[in-house]
A and B are shown apart, each in its own frame.
Chain A
Amino acid sequence: MIESLSFVMGKRGALICFVVLVVPLFFSVPASAQLVLGQYEDEAPLRTWNIFGFQTASSLGRADTSFALASDSSAALTNPALLLSLPRFTATFSGTASSASLYKFSIINTGVLSTQDNLSLNLYALDFAGLSFSIKGWAVGLAVYLSEIYDRPRVSYEYYYRGELTYTLDFHQTGLLRNFSFALARKISGRIQAGLGLTIFSGDFSRETKEEWLASGISINDTKKQEFSGFFANAGVLVRVTEKLDLALVGRTAHRKKAPATSELVYDSSSSGTNIRIAGEATNTYEQPFVGGLGASYRFSPQLVAAADVALFNWAGYSVRYFDEELGRDFKNTIKAGLGAEYVAPVRLFKKEAAIPIRVGIGYDEQPMKEPRSAYTYFSAGAGFYLSMVRLDFGASFGRESGSGNSLTIRRLSLSLTVKL
């Protein structure tokens, strides 16, 4: 791989590419701390249903705006046309600390185990690695990233009778979706550039509910496992309307998330020797929605730029086939919108020209369930430090949900390192 990349970008670039792209493959799993809940279905990604592309620290600080303003190679995942706006070569990797609060999920607060307050889940992950480079009039983007995490707060319940542990109930759900993307972009005319991306994804899901009656030696174990796979395309067009104004049109195909799945329900009584197993296999499918979006960026001055994105998620067409049955998901289409700004302050440090970008944003993220109607309003901020070929960005966002009555919150902190040549 290094040899083939060396042909395109030289040995130093190839080495950076290898480190940035391949090494994170072995580490890009969420380090689970303690998780959360929400009125989420099992397949609901943590934080929000509306996931399109990936936001590294710079776009996170601008309320996820990324359709018409590029920061790094993550542009390939939303608007590949923006790859042409990047330096000749960039390599970025990013890590995230996130937290979400949930109230209803699986057996939690749906009748089996109740909590007085929301539960929270904290996750830490090295979740993005990507690069971009230009060659013969084309811009190329490559990325690997975690898009969806299905973890839930692990819940363990113990019941003591007269000081003796007699019953336990343990709920544990984990899962993720890992994506591999390739994108190309080319200038079509003096004012128009277009890009196309292809993403292949894979992932897994596991949910286990285990009950034990210790005195009688009875246990019940309910396990569901899924292995996700699929692919989708995304595309974008950027139009330079004026020297200051860019408009973007972006989209992602509707696609099928396919998941060979197994289910196993086991009753075991050690004292009576009774063992009953009810097992099933199927290929589950999740029909993921088409996403279309419009974006704009306006440069007020060389230092100040504002960006706005609006995306429509076609959740009304969402359907789930789970162990050969259609599951009811009464969803509506949703809008996610963001408005952000970035000011880059030039500074001089260690006798070198440097820059400190400062970013703020506000966003609205409507969730697809018709009942309860629910949406997050979120605020974001970020900063960075650019020195020579290295960029270090930090972004944070805080969102609060309204509509469900549970005042769910999401927090996200991201740190990204970009090397540009």
Chain B
Amino acid sequence: MKIRNVLLLVFFALALVLVPVGGQTSDGEDIAVISIEKTPEFAATLRELELDLLFEWEGRIYVIVRSQDLGSLDRSAIPYLFETQKFPALSHPQLSLLSSINGEYHSYKELETDLESLQAAYPNLAKVYTIGTSLESRKIYALKISDNVSLDEEEAEVLFLGCHHAREWISVEVPYLLGKHLLESYDTDAEVRRLVDESEIWIVPLVNPDGLEYTIHYYRYWRKNRRLNADGSYGVDINRNYSYRWGYDDEGSSPEPASAVYRGPAAFSEPETRAVRDLFLQKNFRAMITYHSYSQVILYPWGYTTVPPDKDALLRQIASQMSALMEPVNGRFYEFGQAGAELYLTNGTTDDWTFGTAGIPSYTIELPPIDQLQGGFFNPEEDIQTIFRENLPAALYLIDWSIQNFGFSDSEAKRNALKFRSPLFPRIRTSPIKN
């Protein structure tokens, strides 16, 4: 065979293994617009902080801030209001053009990356644990925050949960941002440092990763997990799958697999609820918040009945304090009350189980908006920080309450709740602001 023919054959062979390469990623910056009351004292502080001032209007100074700037304002005891929603032309395109398929909200992979980043950035304060695996083999992560984070110390443990229901995207962000805030503020905020030093805070921002991914890729309003049921329908409502009064009646949950509130074939039939259960039983939690949306209410047990629990006064008092701390931030009032009486009957829920099992203050916080017409399960991306900021004082309050009542009896705890008057947050405005 001639050399020319050999070269031709080699050329053809090479053509079969050629592979093009390339790729790119993008990321966005977290910015917001806030307003601050114009006083000589605040104006002087703003100049010192070298923030980007936009303009003055009706006695308020409007400022562009990044997330780290908010920490500086907090430390300077300057009250502020989030105003980003008033500037769609400024904030919306900038955020959306740089964002991924689900905008500024976390997907499972993004959350995984961000939790690992927090652990890497704060190795002495943050540790990520895998507490279980979902039906589709995604890991369910818990972020533990405490000083001496690798040790199991004799400290008050508090649990924050997010995204039992897949479509409630904001319920991932609030607990995640709580963890981020605690870690980022630890060195500069003495009160945060005290809370972190004296407690062990566990955050599970995404209990239902399979469901969340389905909402991102296929159907935004999916609620349940991704269990293929015996009748061919999909999903178990994992907030009806906990064992306390599981299947108590068919009003608070459903035995029908196709129902949106299908409770599953048995209590804890789902790996997602078992993951939460196993974590909870290994620890000695003093309080728990599970985030949901929407309705803008703080709910406490019982959900399975309208009959009040024996600790109704304590639960109500803590809910009342949390609501009072939240309202001044953005002017949004969170109703509060017993779940079964305030909203609707539910059974097999997280807070009924944690309260029924351990007797600890347990809350479901239904995040904004207040109703379906205001967006329902949709929250604008620029509202993520706003909603987190108004929920932050409530979360910090509950952590502090847990520390104050670590080892106390129920009656002592109740007294503490009643006399607890927001010592952590004297800087927060008390007059509501119209949104």
Q: Please provide the chain B residues from 73 to 107 with a CB less than 8 Å away from any CB of chain A in the complex.
A: 92, 96-97, 99-103, 105, 107
A216-B372 in contact given A106-B218, A276-B378, A324-B100 (Cβ < 8 Å): yes
Q: Please provide the chain B residues from 5 to 53 with a CB less than 8 Å away from any CB of chain A in the complex.
A: 5, 8-9, 11-13, 15-26
A278-B9 in contact given A106-B218, A267-B378, A283-B24 (Cβ < 8 Å): no
> Looking at B16, B20, B22, B23, which has the most chain A CB atoms within 10 Å of its CB?
B16
Inter-chain CA distance A188–B13, complex, in Å, is 14
Inter-chain CA distance A254–B222, complex, in Å, is 36
A155 interface contact, C-beta 8 A: no
Q: Provide the residues of chain B in CB contact with A373, threshold 8 Å.
A: none
B8 and A278 form a contact (CB under 8 A)? no
A188 and B5 form a contact (CB under 8 A)? yes
Q: Provide the residues of chain B in CB contact with A222, threshold 8 Å.
A: 219-220
Q: Please provide the chain B residues from 82 to 134 with a CB less than 8 Å away from any CB of chain A in the complex.
A: 92, 96-97, 99-103, 105, 107, 109-110
B9 and A267 form a contact (CB under 8 A)? no
B233 and A194 form a contact (CB under 8 A)? no
A235 and B12 form a contact (CB under 8 A)? yes
Inter-chain CA distance A230–B15, complex, in Å, is 15
CB proximity of A163 to chain B, nearest CB, Å: 23
Q: Provide the residues of chain B in CB contact with A271, threshold 8 Å.
A: 373
Please encode chain A, from 83 to 116, with 1 for each CB lying within 8 Å of some chain B CB and 0 for all others.
0000000000000000000000011011110100
Inter-chain CA distance A274–B380, complex, in Å, is 10
A321 interface contact, C-beta 8 A: yes
B16 and A274 form a contact (CB under 8 A)? no
Inter-chain CA distance A107–B19, complex, in Å, is 34
A276 and B101 form a contact (CB under 8 A)? no
A107 and B378 form a contact (CB under 8 A)? no
B234 interface contact, C-beta 8 A: yes
A233 and B375 form a contact (CB under 8 A)? no
In the complex, residue of chain B having the shortest beta-carbon distance to the beta carbon of A116: B232
B348 interface contact, C-beta 8 A: no
CB proximity of B260 to chain A, nearest CB, Å: 10
CB proximity of B130 to chain A, nearest CB, Å: 17
A111-B222 in contact given A267-B376, A326-B109 (Cβ < 8 Å): yes
Inter-chain CA distance A258–B22, complex, in Å, is 10
B15 and A253 form a contact (CB under 8 A)? yes
CB < 8 Å neighbour of A282 from B100, B258, B375: B100
B20 and A256 form a contact (CB under 8 A)? yes
Inter-chain CA distance A233–B16, complex, in Å, is 7
CB proximity of B199 to chain A, nearest CB, Å: 34
In the complex, residue of chain B having the shortest beta-carbon distance to the beta carbon of A186: B8
Inter-chain CA distance A283–B234, complex, in Å, is 31
CB < 8 Å neighbour of B18 from A195, A216, A224, A253: A253
B214 interface contact, C-beta 8 A: yes
CB proximity of B380 to chain A, nearest CB, Å: 5
B234 and A280 form a contact (CB under 8 A)? no
CB < 8 Å neighbour of A274 from B17, B219, B235, B375: B375
B235 and A196 form a contact (CB under 8 A)? no
A265 interface contact, C-beta 8 A: yes
Inter-chain CA distance A252–B16, complex, in Å, is 6
In the complex, residue of chain B having the shortest beta-carbon distance to the beta carbon of A235: B12
B379 interface contact, C-beta 8 A: yes
CB proximity of A322 to chain B, nearest CB, Å: 7
CB < 8 Å neighbour of A237 from B9, B21, B373: B9
B226 interface contact, C-beta 8 A: yes
A274 and B221 form a contact (CB under 8 A)? no
Known: A233-B18, A263-B101, A325-B100. 9 other contacts (CB 8 A): A111-B224, A112-B222, A196-B12, A211-B221, A236-B12, A254-B17, A267-B376, A278-B378, A325-B110
What is the interface of chain A, defined by CB distance below 8 A to chain B? 106-107, 109-112, 114, 186, 188-189, 192, 194-196, 209, 211, 216, 218, 220, 222, 224, 230-231, 233-237, 251-256, 258, 263, 265, 267, 269, 271-272, 274, 276-283, 285, 290, 292, 321-326
Selected A-B contacts with CB under 8 Å, 22 pairs:
A110-B218, A111-B214, A111-B224, A188-B1, A194-B8, A195-B12, A216-B373, A218-B376, A233-B15, A233-B18, A236-B12, A254-B19, A258-B22, A267-B376, A276-B378, A278-B105, A278-B381, A279-B97, A279-B103, A280-B101, A324-B25, A325-B107
